[in-house]
Amino acid sequence: MPALASDEIVTVVDGENRPVAELPRHRVRSENLAHRATYIFVFDRRGRVLVQRRTAIKDVCPGWYDVAAGGGVAAGESYEECAEREAAEELGIRGTALEPKFDFYHEDERVRCFGRVFTCRHEGPFTLQPEEVESVAFHTVDEIRAGRILPLTPDTLVALERLLALRPAGGNPENAPRID
């Protein structure tokens, strides 16, 4: 029988992103401890962002929308290993290159994490993890920024805005970052 997500062991880090403990995810969540996480932005060929609806049983922001796949880096796992695992588990994405973009820190009343952002291009089909993802759909950056998809998880929105700030002057017509 697979372990519950709440029992997964996560590396807790200090303010400099140095490991200080390994604890069950439920403790990291309930005590809002700093940890590492991955954010995988999936774009289609038109530059639209894959948005996923979180299931109602998620421990943080149930039923909200994420503009990135991803999750907590497990103990003994690298950011890259976590990104590949999460893309495969949540969306069924395997064998697609995940390009690392940047690291950032996010803190709010729900989450304290050092995140690493990755991008990829994938058109589907997607195989959704029923415990984590209720549904997915591609949306333009303009739709996301206009608030047409709400509520959005704050950390994924912060990561998206930072990713968009990296795009070359002029950007592409879809207002999405160049990923190839």
Parallel, antiparallel, or unpaired for β 99-107 and 112-121? antiparallel
> Does residue 73 register a pLDDT over 90?
yes
Mean pLDDT of 19-29: 94
Going by pLDDT thresholds of 50, 70 and 90, the confidence category of residue 80 is very high
Going by pLDDT thresholds of 50, 70 and 90, the confidence category of residue 117 is very high
Name 170's Cβ contacts closer than 8 Å, sequence gap at least 6.
Answer: none
Parallel, antiparallel, or unpaired for β 112-121 and 35-43? parallel
Mean pLDDT of 141-166: 95
76: left (phi over 0), alpha (psi -120 to 50) or beta: left
Mean pLDDT of 30-53: 96
Percentage of the chain surpassing pLDDT 90?
Answer: 85
Single pTM value for the model: 0.90
